[in-house]
């Protein structure tokens, strides 16, 4: 009931954006986990072609976030949200009929670019609409976000018993409903109008000149590299431990991660905010994410204590990583707005997502290579030690960024750190 009360306390626009995000993740995760199997199976594409399709989808989203954010600041948040949902409707609908590599590539590029259009706009709109309550708003937003990730694969799995094309059509229908809902019910809002004298390159230079924002973005790569391991290193560990039965354990990992976020997000955010405020909460949350790999460092495989103990260590690590991620997310989103000083917010979000997207790509390549090499050398612990070190360094960097800088004094004489609201922690989230 706490989540429901908090949800109802926001205005119509914020509630629509939260429901919209649930629908976005529901439709996306209904389809995407099963796309590779469909491409390699019924369509009979070669492995390189499957990799190309997935790579194009990822690049068309991660590589285009800055474009989407810039367009949102110039054209308004609502048009980009509607356009993104409409484009993803078309992309998924095309997958119903596409049987050749060119057709599948076009569909994948469309679905990816759609995400680049609506993601920065949604976050900028929510931040502008909720004002001083944006930390709480992003906490509730993350509950809907994670609920969509939980429900999507389950709905998609049920539909896959019929046919992949049925799943694709259902996902397209979800985004069609979202398009109509946002078009008809979401109020138009553009927080800042761009004057004709300001060029796109000038906007980008403004963002690139924001040194503290860039340092924060680079530091947060560590957070994203760690949180992404629920899709990479942790499932690989599950396969290593249980072999052919790994799907059950992998499913359990996602359930644990999702339940922690859905059930605990508001309590975690309220507890952190009441004690530490924005900047210190980021550092502590990042520290929890780093510590999440300690159980796997202690029990890196079945050799020492057996398979059951290794499975328990894996589940504990997953739960701790989910707690750390839930602790970080609302304050992370709030900090981007604070460091942007309320100007070109969507462009800042787009730039931020582009930076962390590049970091995730590099981090995943490195992690995948290290997992293979460590197992070949009989040093499984090295993977988890390396990830923990990345998290510890990121936590230290966030702590340093939150410390007031002598040369950076606000006009009212308050030192400026990550927590732009001042040095005192904010009050607890209203329930």
**Residue 159 near residue 30 (C-beta atoms within 8 A):** yes
CA distance 398 to 216: 7
- In this prediction, residue 89 carries a pLDDT of 95
**Residue 27 near residue 174 (C-beta atoms within 8 A):** yes
Record the tokens describing residue 104, joined without a space.
């599948």
Among candidates 284, 387, 383, 277, which has minimal Cα distance to 327? 284
Kind plus residue range of the DSSP H or E element containing 168? helix 164-185
Domain 211-404+414-421 class in CATH: mainly alpha
Among candidates 223, 227, 230, 385, which has minimal Cα distance to 314? 230
> What is the phi/psi pair of residue 409, to 5°?
-120, 130
Domains 1-187 and 211-404+414-421 share a fold: yes
Relative orientation angle of helices 246-291 and 211-227, to the nearest 10 degrees: 140
**Residue 94 near residue 110 (C-beta atoms within 8 A):** yes
* Domain parsing of the chain, residue ranges: 1-187, 211-404+414-421
Among candidates 191, 187, 211, which has minimal Cα distance to 16? 187
Classify residue 72 by burial, with Cβ atoms within 10 Å: 0-12, 13-18, 19+: buried
Record the tokens describing residue 178, joined without a space.
């979202």
Among candidates 259, 359, 362, 277, which has minimal Cα distance to 319? 259
Q: What is the pLDDT along the chain (431 residues), one digit of tens a residue?
A: 587 888 888 888 999 999 999 999 999 888 877 887 788 778 887 777 876 787 778 778 877 899 999 999 888 899 999 999 999 999 999 989 888 888 989 998 999 899 999 999 999 999 888 888 889 999 999 999 989 988 888 888 888 888 888 999 999 999 999 999 999 888 876 555 554 567 888 888 888 899 999 999 999 999 988 988 887 788 888 888 887 666 678 778 888 888 888 888 888 988 998 888 877 889 999 999 999 999 999 988 777 778 889 889 999 999 999 999 999 999 999 899 889 887 888 899 899 988 988 888 788 778 777 877 777 777 778 889 989 999 999 999 998 887 765 544 444 444 445 554 433 333 333 32
- In this prediction, residue 419 carries a pLDDT of 55
Q: How many residues does the chain have?
A: 431
Record the tokens describing residue 54, joined without a space.
């997935």
DSSP state of 299: S
Q: Which CATH superfamily is domain 1-187 in?
A: MFS general substrate transporter like domains (1.20.1250.20)
């Amino acid at each position: 009931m706490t989540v429901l009360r908090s949800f109802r306390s926001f205005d119509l626009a914020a509630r629509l954006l939260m429901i919209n995000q649930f629908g976005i993740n529901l439709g996306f995760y209904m389809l995407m986990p099963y796309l590779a199997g469909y491409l390699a199976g019924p369509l009979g594409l070669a492995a390189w072609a499957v990799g190309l399709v997935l790579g194009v989808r990822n690049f068309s989203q991660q590589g285009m976030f800055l474009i989407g954010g810039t367009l949102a600041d110039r054209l308004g948040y609502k048009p980009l949200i509607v356009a993104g949902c409409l484009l993803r409707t078309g992309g998924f609908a095309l997958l119903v009929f596409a049987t050749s590599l060119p057709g599948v590539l076009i569909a994948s590029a469309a679905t990816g670019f759609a995400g680049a259009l609506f993601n920065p706009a949604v976050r900028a709109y929510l931040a502008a609409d909720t004002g001083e309550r944006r930390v709480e708003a992003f906490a509730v937003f993350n509950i809907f976000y994670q609920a969509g990730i939980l429900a999507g694969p389950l709905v998609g799995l049920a539909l896959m018993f019929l046919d992949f094309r049925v799943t694709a059509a259902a996902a397209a229908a979800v985004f069609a409903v979202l398009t109509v809902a946002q078009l008809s019910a979401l109020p138009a809002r553009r927080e800042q109008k761009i004057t004709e004298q300001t060029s796109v390159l000038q906007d980008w230079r403004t963002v690139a000149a924001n040194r503290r924002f860039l340092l924060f973005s680079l530091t947060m790569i560590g957070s994203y590299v760690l949180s992404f391991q629920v899709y990479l290193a942790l499932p690989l560990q599950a396969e290593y431990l249980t072999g052919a039965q790994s799907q059950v354990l992998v499913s359990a990992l996602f359930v644990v991660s999702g339940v922690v976020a859905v059930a605990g997000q508001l309590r975690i955010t309220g507890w952190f905010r009441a004690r530490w405020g924005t900047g210190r909460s980021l550092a502590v949350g990042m520290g929890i994410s780093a510590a999440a790999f300690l159980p796997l460092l202690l029990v890196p495989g079945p050799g020492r204590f057996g398979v059951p103990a290794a499975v328990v260590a894996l589940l504990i690590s997953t739960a701790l990583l989910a707690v750390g991620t839930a602790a970080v997310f609302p304050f992370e989103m709030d900090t981007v707005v604070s460091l942007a000083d309320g100007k070109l917010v969507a462009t800042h979000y787009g730039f931020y997502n582009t930076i962390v997207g590049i970091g995730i790509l590099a981090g995943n390549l490195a992690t995948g290579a290290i997992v293979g090499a460590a197992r070949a050398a009989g040093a499984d612990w090295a993977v988890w030690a390396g990830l923990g070190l990345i998290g510890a360094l990121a936590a230290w960097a966030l702590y340093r960024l939150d410390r007031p800088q002598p040369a950076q004094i606000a006009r009212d004489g308050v030192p400026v750190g990550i927590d732009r609201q001042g040095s005192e922690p904010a009050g607890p989230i209203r329930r």
